[in-house]
Structure 1
Amino acid sequence: MGLVCALVYLLAIINFLPFAFKRDIVKVTSGAGNKDKVFAAQDIENGRFLHRFPLEKLASYGFAYGTLASEIILGILDDSFDMRWRHKFFIPAFAALPMFGLYFVDFGITHVVVPLPLRPYLGDLIDLGGFYYLYMAAICIFCPNSINMVAGINGIEVGQSIVIACLIVLNDALYLLPTIHQPHPAADSHLFSIYLLMPLIGVSMALLMHNWFPAKVFVGDTYCYFAGMVFAVVGILGHFSKTVLLLFIPQIFNFVYSVPQLFHVVPCPRHRLPKFNARTGLLEPSVVVFTEDQPLKPVIGEVLKILDKLKLVRVQTDGKGRVAEMSNLTILNMWLVWRGALREDRLAIEILIMQTGVGLFGLWVRHSLALLLFTVDNRF
């Protein structure tokens, strides 16, 4: 049902555009009070004064729409043909190429502010040039795939997307408060973010009603890619991508935690979702078993034993003291290692509470602790 959710989202965005540009449309049509005005021949030949309409703002919606539509196509292909990770990993960056072109033409800034301790050596600003576009491509790859990696239990994909979207809307609202001097230079960017995120929250909450435990429908990879790309689009075109990454701290941790399996340092099964125990009705950490066909290097086994003592992974050893199995390296399995077996909805609720807490901490870091490194908060 992720495809249905994504298509309804696209329809909502299209239907909302006249309202987003209502004031501008009024200015270039008879709504401005010029219904009885007599136009000269040259005015009729040239048409409306379209130069009054902010086409550069409309372009952001158009290119965002095209990027999201392309990402939805990727999700449809993945759900239909079960594509391998190595085949689909970089595709989001290609889907975002038109958005990068718009960024180059409309904004084009590739400078970043240097933290205070490094300014004596690097200056106030440093120009990353083409590397900034690689950074944006990495965001477009990471956001959709990160939502897809924290998956496998009812409601978790949609739930984390709703939490992240609400936190970004909260951050947007901080720039639109009456207590902030208006019009704020970033007000349009954060309105653009809100306009894209509110429909996402709406369709996601409707989907969550059917996807929560016990789920009646599954979301599929289409929803994960589409929702993740929405966050990448608002971060890049809204010019606050680093703030968005602060709200992805659990997803970043999950990726780093999964690296040994993703790069096959230890065996990585096709699916690593928690294991359902039919006898107890609870979820337990799923495991990967080491065999003679899939041997584990002794040094890696010793590292796993240390991680087991730190409660970061659960391992079982054989009679010779060698690691025979280990829990899969995902944040869901690690949470079960910490908390013990849990019912599926309880696990989802605890993960979403953690996501909310970490996200609020990230916003506090962005608007309070960051002042120690950058001297000023751009809200003011």
Structure 2
Amino acid sequence: MLQLLVISIAIAAIALSSGAFNALWTASGFALIGYVVTDSLIPKLAPFFTAKGLFGKDMSKVGKPVIPETIGAITATSYLFLMFFFIPFAFYKYLVVATVGGGERGAGEVPSLGSDDQLALFPHDKLAGFLSAMLCLESILLLGLADDFFDLRWRHKFFLPAIAAIPLLVVYYVDFGVTHVLIPSWLQHHFKDQTTIELGWLYYVYMGSVAIFCPNSINILAGVNGLETGQAVVITVLLLLNDLCYFVFGSQQTWESHIFSASLLIPFLGVSLTLFKYNWYPARVFVGDTYCYFAGMVFAVVGIQGHFSKTLLLFFIPQIFNFIYSVPQLFNLVPCPRHRLPRFNEKDGLMYPSHAVFEKQLNPMVEKAMVVLSKLKLLEIVQREGRVVESSNFTLINLALVWFGPLREDSLCAVLLLLQFTIGLVALLARHTIGPWLYGYDNLFFSA
């Protein structure tokens, strides 16, 4: 443990050397520090959460053991402290290198982080962007804690992430302010050969929707040991792969946004891997809604501040599918039980699709749709006397069990995470191959 901490400090010290990507070395060092610190804090603090009543029963285990809950708050807090300490490292170049001494800062300007041969004025806009991201994450941490403490209803908490995102959107408006989107090349003749369309305030509605969707989508796709932290880790890796594409094949102008993204994601990966270790089957802790909201907002922050919020949604395809698939129950077209977790069979230790039982006859059109879905292997139904009397719950977790049959909990989680990574990797390849073909433009040399 001590060796990891020493290595972390050493890597962080390496970041003091000059170079366009020194922030990434620093972020990697802080990621290791975050892993070590969080790994030390979780087992020590978890009993205090249980003592304060923050615990839950693991319904998918024999005997339903009591597990400390809301432990994601430890991870989120560790991450925020790491990012506070990260500030002087991230701006070291401007604080120390780009000065002529005597308190006189900035004899000129550096157009990008890739230029080290000129002096630079301190980039207050970049610091404002970084601080707005931290304020946004602090706000969502408080909202997540409120949900874990008071068990807020969905209609009360669904839009809360948009409030937390206000600082982020304000800085985006002042600093960047781009509200247009590219038009696919094959549609441009319908828009008088325009290459972009201006959305104005609708673009801010869209970004606010991203801030709402990302936290809630992770919170909805949950309930299996390791799944909440696992999907966050997988999405983080996919986003870092996207950043890597720009570092290797992108122009110098694209580096800044993706250095910002990677600098936030790498430490987050470090602390999340620790939580994943304790949340993996058999779980020793539950992450709580706090982590789900916090993780989703980290992704929303890097997508909005890194100016790739549309690309971000490609890595949320399983979550988008899970939300759309859940709509019949979320909007009461089909009765929705309070808990839609898979059913655990104590005799064989396997998970089976949980079912919703319908006491009243469903709308005939809904029944016909459910029969079609069952034939497509998208639903498991039970029919009696010509009507549907029960069906598997409309979640991706239950659907995976319909597809692959009964699974042990860790195998079920592994299948879902592999599905997430595979779809994300295909989406990443499509983004940088099919995307430029559709839009006639990309920021990568190999696909431009």
Cα distance in structure 1, aligned partners of 2:104 and 2:329: 59
Partner of 2:425: 360
Partner of 1:20: 90
Deviations 1:215-272 (A, max 9, x none): 0000000000000000000000100011111111111111111111111111112221
Cα distance in structure 2, aligned partners of 1:180 and 1:249: 25
Indicate yes or no: 2:366 matched with 1:300.
yes
Deviation at 1:174, TM superposition (A): 1.4
Secondary structure of the corresponding residue to residue 186 of structure 1: helix
Secondary structure of the corresponding residue to residue 224 of structure 2: coil
Indicate yes or no: 2:392 matched with 1:336.
no
Of 310, 314, 321, the match for 2:380: 314
Deviation at 1:28, TM superposition (A): 5.8
Alignment of 1:79-98 (within 5 A): 79-98=148-167
Q: Tell me if structure 2 keeps the 8 A contact 1:27–1:52.
A: no
Secondary structure of the corresponding residue to residue 370 of structure 1: helix
Of 202, 205, 214, the match for 1:143: 214
Alignment of 1:23-38 (within 5 A): 23-27=93-97, 34=101
Q: Which moved more, 1:138-147 or 1:272-281?
A: 272-281
Alignment of 1:250-289 (within 5 A): 250-289=318-357
Of 69, 90, 99, the match for 2:168: 99
Partner of 1:110: 179
Q: Tell me if structure 2 keeps the 8 A contact 1:282–1:344.
A: yes
* Structure 1 stretches of 4+ moved >4 Å: none
Secondary structure of the corresponding residue to residue 176 of structure 1: helix
Deviation at 1:48, TM superposition (A): 4.8
Q: What TM-score do the two structures reach when normalised by structure 2?
A: 0.78
Partner of 2:227: 156
Indicate yes or no: 2:294 matched with 1:226.
yes
Amino acid at match of 2:363: K
Partner of 1:127: 198
Cα distance in structure 2, aligned partners of 1:253 and 1:354: 12
Deviation at 1:379, TM superposition (A): 2.1
Indicate yes or no: 2:222 matched with 1:166.
no
Deviation at 1:27, TM superposition (A): 3.9
Cα distance in structure 2, aligned partners of 1:48 and 1:263: 61
Amino acid at match of 2:416: I
Amino acid at match of 1:132: Y
Deviations 1:274-311 (A, max 9, x none): 1111111100111110013xx41222112111111111
Indicate yes or no: 2:300 matched with 1:235.
no
Secondary structure of the corresponding residue to residue 175 of structure 1: helix
Q: Tell me if structure 1 keeps the 8 A contact 2:144–2:294.
A: yes
Q: What TM-score do the two structures reach when normalised by structure 1?
A: 0.92
Secondary structure of the corresponding residue to residue 273 of structure 1: coil
Of 298, 314, 335, the match for 1:246: 314
Indicate yes or no: 2:430 matched with 1:369.
no
Of 89, 98, 105, the match for 1:49: 105
Deviations 1:39-75 (A, max 9, x none): xxxxxxxx65378211111111100000011001111
Cα distance in structure 1, aligned partners of 2:442 and 2:176: 21
Secondary structure of the corresponding residue to residue 204 of structure 2: helix
Secondary structure of the corresponding residue to residue 108 of structure 1: coil
Indicate yes or no: 2:147 matched with 1:78.
yes
Amino acid at match of 1:145: N
Q: Tell me if structure 2 keeps the 8 A contact 1:28–1:48.
A: no
Partner of 1:44: none
User: How many positions carry a matched residue from both structures?
Assistant: 360
Deviation at 1:114, TM superposition (A): 0.5
Cα distance in structure 1, aligned partners of 2:97 and 2:275: 39
Amino acid at match of 1:271: H
Secondary structure of the corresponding residue to residue 269 of structure 1: coil
Cα distance in structure 2, aligned partners of 1:27 and 1:106: 24
Unaligned runs of 5+ in 2: 1-70, 107-119
Indicate yes or no: 2:73 matched with 1:3.
yes
Unaligned runs of 5+ in 1: 38-46
Partner of 1:326: 391
Cα distance in structure 2, aligned partners of 1:300 and 1:180: 49
Deviation at 1:158, TM superposition (A): 0.3
Q: Tell me if structure 1 keeps the 8 A contact 2:250–2:443.
A: no
Deviations 1:321-356 (A, max 9, x none): 111101100001001011111000000011111111
Cα distance in structure 2, aligned partners of 1:297 and 1:371: 45
Deviation at 1:17, TM superposition (A): 1.2
Deviations 1:109-153 (A, max 9, x none): 101110012101122111000100010011001000111111010
Amino acid at match of 1:360: L
Question: What is the RMSD computed on CA atoms of the aligned residues?
Answer: 1.4
